[in-house]
A and B are shown apart, each in its own frame.
Chain A
Amino acid sequence: MLDSERDRIFGDWLAAHQGTLFKVVCAYAFEHADRQDLFQEVAIQVWRSVDAYRGESSVKTWMYRIALNAAISWTRKQDRHHRGKQPLEIVDGLLAASATEADPRVEWLYRQIAQLKDVDRSVALLMLDGFAYKEIAAIAGISEGNVGVKINRIKAALTAQLAKETEL
């Protein structure tokens, strides 16, 4: 694909769905430098994927899929990096945090999501954003039955944690 066409489509997608990308980034990276790095990785993967988009799903679903795959790969790469095997390039300042405070309830959800495994984290994000089981199964690459089981477990864990913290 030619550069100008790819850039134009990527620019449109980013403007319309950057909130989706930020959600994925925040769910998989927890420090500012890590979020910078992961956002860079996710943006590159989305930019590369523009050419492969065939319009078979909505752009939001497509971007979720790309971003989650990139985030899971990044987490694994990050583990290797921490063991001193793979250097990472960071474009400093790419992702700027604003002075606005995040909602404590959303922060709480991120803390809960952070404790889940990679795939469960994807399922939790998609569930919270209201995706149907079928779409979650297609994006996460697992069966619909498995999605149902995971969602029930995640909901039960979140409800229990919420009840516990409310009691306190």
Chain B
Amino acid sequence: MNLDDVTAVWRSKDLSQLYGVDKTLLDLMLRQEQAKLEKQRRRARWFVSVMNAVLLITAGLFFAILIDPNQPPVFSARLVVWDYVVGVVGVAATLVLAGTLFVARRSRQAREQGFGDSLRDHLRRRIAELDAEATGERRLGLTMVATMLICVTAISILEGRIRHVPVPWSEIVWPSPFSIVLILGFLYLLFFRWMPRERQQKLSRKRQLEALLKELDGQ
């Protein structure tokens, strides 16, 4: 007997005859895995919502301090119109972010309600979801990143301005060029590399599902 003979035996043997899979246990295991994934997604949604709430409360609080009539005169005297503008922009940005998240959630719910429980309906629902994600995700991502950046910047500026007495605008410490380059690099990767790749994958997945739907319709 040589290696070729052993290899030929190996290829001719199907281990399926030696082992079997308990379909019920496998299904149970996969359902547990699905529940775990759902939990992770819920956590991610909670994280974004909580972050949005923290930004909204912080921006609102800082703006309230700015317009508080009981502040000492030395504080109010050094405030300029730009402080109020920054405060309003910060609060508005968080409201836009909250509104965007709310609208995205409502439109997803509305989309899901339009379909039944059959496999065809599941496929149609998923195709509609992929379509909406591929076309609207860039807009949603842009809105989220822009509003968060604006809000965090506004909060940082206001924090500097309202600490003890307002710090003059000329003395505010701005981010270093290195951090700005890092942020811009991240934004470039996000919008021109990762999101287009994700979009392509979604469109390719959509085409596969459309083919599957066609195959089902033909049965």
Q: Are B6 and A2 in contact (CB under 8 A)?
A: no
CB–CB A91/B1 < 8 A:
no
Chain A residue contacts of B19, Cβ below 8 A: 18, 22, 95-98
B208:A43 contact, CB within 8 angstroms: no
Given A106-B10, A128-B10, A22-B16 contact (CB < 8 Å):
yes
Contacts A128-B10, A162-B3; is A23 near B15 (CB within 8 Å)?
yes
Interface residues on A, range: 35 or more
6 A-B pairs in the complex with CB atoms less than 8 angstroms apart:
A2-B126, A4-B119, A5-B212, A23-B15, A43-B29, A105-B5
Beta-carbon contacts under 8 Å, A147-166 to B: 155, 158-159, 162, 166
On whether the beta carbons of A95 and B126 are closer than 8 Å, the reply is no
Interface pair B3/A94, CB less than 8 Å apart:
no
Q: Say whether, besides A5-B122, A5-B209, A106 and B21 are in contact (CB < 8 Å).
A: no
> What total count of A-B pairs have CB within 8 Å?
103
**Minimum Cβ distance to chain B for residue A57 (Å):** 15
Contacts of A108 in B (CB 8 A): 6
Contact yes or no, A94 B25, CB < 8 A: yes
Q: A18 to B10, alpha carbons, bound, how many Å?
A: 15
Q: Please determine whether A48 and B33 come into contact, CB atoms closer than 8 angstroms.
A: yes
CB of A67 within 8 A of chain B? no
Residues of A whose CB lies within 8 Å of any CB of B are 1-5, 7-8, 10, 14, 18-19, 22-23, 26, 39-40, 43-44, 47-48, 51, 54-55, 91, 93-98, 100, 102-103, 105-106, 108-109, 128-130, 155, 158-159, 162, 166
| Nearest-neighbor residue (CB-CB) of B125 within chain A | A2
Contacts A91-B25, A166-B1; is A4 near B122 (CB within 8 Å)? yes
Does the CB pair A129–B11 fall under 8 Å? yes
Is B13's beta carbon under 8 Å from chain A?
yes
Q: Name B's interface SS.
A: helix
Chain B interfacial positions (CB closer than 8 Å to A): 1-3, 5-7, 9-11, 13-22, 25-26, 28-30, 33-34, 119, 122-123, 125-126, 201, 204-205, 208-209, 212
Selected contact of A94 from candidates B10, B29, B123, B201, CB within 8 Å: B29
Q: Are B11 and A19 in contact (CB under 8 A)?
A: no
Q: Is B29's CB under 8 angstroms from A54's CB?
A: no
Q: Return the chain B residue nearest A159 by Cβ.
A: B3
**What residues on A are CB-neighbors of B9 within 8 Å?**
103, 105-106
CB distance from A27 to the nearest CB of B (A): 10
Q: Which of A8, A98, A130, A162 contacts B18 (CB 8 A)?
A: A98
Contact of A155 among B3, B13, B34 (CB under 8 A): B3
Q: Cβ of B26 and Cβ of A43 under 8 Å apart?
A: yes
Instruction: With both chains docked as a complex, state the minimum distance between the C-beta of B79 and any C-beta of chain A, in angstroms.
Output: 53
Residues of A near B15 (CB, < 8 A) are: 19, 22-23, 26
Main secondary structure of the interface of A (DSSP, over half): helix
- B6 close to A5 (CB less than 8 A): no
Are A96 and B33 closer than 8 Å at their CB atoms?
Answer: no
In contact, A109 and B18 (Cβ under 8 angstroms): no
B21 touches A94 (CB 8 A): yes
Closest to B204 in A: A54
Cα(A155)–Cα(B5), bound, Å: 13
The answer to whether A162 and B6 have CB atoms under 8 Å apart is: yes
Known contacts A43-B29, A103-B13, A106-B13; decide if A98 and B6 are in contact (CB<8 Å).
Answer: no
Cα separation A8 to B9 with both chains bound (whole Å):
32
Bound-state Cα–Cα, A103 to B11, Å: 12
Contacts of B14 in A (CB 8 A): 19
Chain B residues with Cβ below 8 Å from A19 are: 14-16
Q: Is the CB of B6 within 8 A of A105?
A: yes
